[in-house]
Amino acid sequence: MAEVKMFGAWGSPFSKRVEMGLKLKGVEYEYIEEDLNNKSSLLLNYNPVHKKVPVLVHNGKPIAESLIILEYIDEAWEGPDILPKDPYERANARFWAKFIDEKCMPPMWKACWSIGEERAKAKEEASEALKFLENEINGQKFFGGDTIGLVDIAANFIGYWFRIAEEIVGLELMTQDKYPNLCKWAEEYCKCSFVKENLPPKDKLADIFKGIIQAQSAPK
C-alpha cells in the first residue's frame, strides 16, 4: 500500500498548496505539522538542501518545493488534472505559477511589513506584477479555466493570505477599482468549497499578522 506523508506548517501558503493538490486527487496522507522555529530532524533529513516545508514523502522518497511537488502529484496519481494536457497550455501554467512565486509574492509580502520608502517601492513592484495577472485572468472564472488548476493553487497567497494581511496593515494594494478581475477571482476562489477546506482559519492568521506588527513596533 502506498504510504504518503506530508510535512507542513498550518500557516504556510506553500504547505497548503500541496494539501490542495493531494485532496484534489483524493490521496490519503499523513500530515505532520512542523514547528518552523524548531524543525524536526526528520524534516532536515528529508530536505537537507533547503530545510523547508512543504515536503511530500511517497513510499519513503522525499520531494521538496511546492510547485515541483504539485507536478509530481499530478503525474503520480489519477484524478482531476492539476496541469492542462496541451503542451503550450502547460508551459503557460508553469510560467504564471513561477511568476507568482518570483515576482508577486516577494514584493507583496514586503509591502505588508515595511514602512516609508521601502513600502512604497515594494507596493509599486507588486502593483506592476499584479497588473499582468489581472490581464491573464480576464474573462475566465479561474486561471485554469472552468476549474482550478496549477496557477489557481499557486495563487492561494494572493487570494487569501494577502487579503487578510493587507486589511490589517492598511495597505490598499489589491483594490476593487484597480484589479476588478483579480478581486472577482479571489471571491470565487475562496467561495469554492474545495479551497475553503484548505485555508487556515482567518482569525488565527490575523493573530499572526498582528503579532508581526507588534514585534516590529516593540521598543528595541
Partner 1 sequence: MADELVLLDVHVSMFGMRVRIALAEKGIKYEYREENLANKSTLLLETNPVHKKIPVLIHNGKPICESLIIVQYIDEVWKDKSPLLPSDPYQRAQARFWADFVDKKVFDAGRKIWRTKGEELEAAKKELIDALELLEGELGDKPYFNGDTFGFLDLAFITFYSWFHTYETCGNFSIEKHCPKLIKWAKRCMERESVSKSLADPITVYEFVLMLKKKYGH
Residues that bind partner 1 (CB under 8 A): 49, 58, 61, 63-65, 68-69, 71-72, 75-76, 87-88, 90-91, 94-95, 98-99, 103, 132
Query: Rounded to whole angstroms, how far apart are CA atoms 195 and 189?
Result: 7
Whichever of 93 and 164 has its CB closer to partner 1, that residue is 93
Contact call for residues 4 and 22 (beta carbons, < 8 A):
yes
Q: Kindly state the smallest distance separating residue 182's Cβ from partner 1, in Å.
A: 16
Q: Kindly state the smallest distance separating residue 63's Cβ from partner 1, in Å.
A: 5
Whichever of 87 and 219 has its CB closer to partner 1, that residue is 87
Backbone angles phi and psi of 122, in degrees to 5: -65, -40
- DSSP conformation class of 10: T
Look up residue 6 and give its amino acid.
Answer: M
Whichever of 87 and 170 has its CB closer to partner 1, that residue is 87
The interaxial angle of helices 87-99 and 116-137, nearest 10 deg, is 160
Which residue in the block uniquely carries the three cell numbers 503542451? 87
Query: Rounded to whole angstroms, how far apart are CA atoms 159 and 144?
Result: 14
Whichever of 24 and 171 has its CB closer to partner 1, that residue is 24
Q: Which three cell numbers stand for residue 88?
A: 503550450
Whichever of 109 and 132 has its CB closer to partner 1, that residue is 132
- DSSP conformation class of 215: H
Q: Kindly state the smallest distance separating residue 130's Cβ from partner 1, in Å.
A: 12
Neighbours of 23 (CB within 10 A): 16
Q: Kindly state the smallest distance separating residue 191's Cβ from partner 1, in Å.
A: 29
Q: Kindly state the smallest distance separating residue 27's Cβ from partner 1, in Å.
A: 13
